[in-house]
Amino acid sequence: MKFNLIFIAALIICVLSFPDESHAKKKKSKKAKKSGEVKFDSKLLKCLVCRATVNEFAWAIMRVDPKKMVDTGGWRINAEGDNKRLVIPYARSQTHLMEVAETVCKDNFEEYAQAKWKKNGKPTIIRLQTHTGNMNSDIGKVDIVPDDDLNKSLKFHCESTIEEAEDHFLEIFSGLEDIEESLPRYIDEICLTRTNFCQESAKDEL
């Protein structure tokens, strides 16, 4: 009898010493699932950042006084056949566009966060504050996804986008079309048509 009691006690201690394996697996699975929720597919993130980069590039140009002009050092022939110095808006000059290309990622992507739209669960990145310092009105429409390394990741993708597509940015933004009106087309041209960073048109994003 005494031996049986000792055996049962030892068995209970043994069982308590080893947690239920299925419970551990479930816990691990839940943790993995939760972890997976904060990781966006890198290809998708590249697309989202490319679109945001085009937007930031456009803003950097639109904020410059359109009356500020620069002499390109070149010449053009007008309708009367006269040679005239080629003067263009400073904002669309190669000098300014190259400056924007060098600073657009560093100056802007600390303001972005990774998020998901509440209405459909689609991933996105969102500017927390507008360029004028106000809270983004779309904040209430998304759930922010916390990620300690997010800003570094977004900045990296921005820098990679500029590095791979700088010539396209300089060429497209050197035109004199109205930027605000042409922006959706610019986004598609750079991120979809010329680089294939995105798989769908900007107008279909949401």
Residue 32 reports pLDDT greater than 50? no
Helices (H), 66-149: 94-108
**What is the secondary structure of 152-190 as a DSSP string?**
HHHHHHHHHHHHHHHHHHHHHHTS-S-HHHHHHHHHIII
Which one has a higher pLDDT value, 124 or 35? Answer: 124
- Confidence band for 38, pLDDT divided at 50, 70 and 90: very low
CA distance 183 to 20: 57
* pLDDT tens-digit map of 67-89: 999 887 655 565 666 666 778 89
Q: What is the mean pLDDT of the chain?
A: 81
Q: Token pair of 174, please? A: 């050197």
Strand order across the beta sheet in which 142-144 lies: 123-127, 112-117, 142-144
Give residue limits of the domains in the chain. 40-65+96-197
* pLDDT tens-digit map of 2-12: 445 454 455 45
Residue 19 reports pLDDT greater than 60? no
CA distance 152 to 147: 10
**Residue whose tokens read 């969102």:** 126
CA distance 145 to 122: 12
Conformation bin of residue 81: beta by default, left when phi > 0, alpha when psi is -120 to 50? left
CA distance 187 to 189: 6
Residue 140 reports pLDDT greater than 70? yes
Degrees to nearest 5, angle at CA 147 with 141 and 153: 100
Residue 148 reports pLDDT greater than 50? yes
Residue 37 reports pLDDT greater than 90? no
The reported pLDDT for the residue numbered 203 is: 53
Task: Name the nearest CA neighbour of 54 among 192, 150, 199.
Answer: 192
Q: Token pair of 65, please? A: 């006084």
* pLDDT tens-digit map of 179-202: 999 999 999 999 999 999 998 875
**Residue whose tokens read 């980069």:** 53
Q: Other CB atoms closer than 10 Å to residue 45's CB: what's the count?
A: 19
134 DSSP 8-state letter: P
Residue 117 reports pLDDT greater than 90? yes
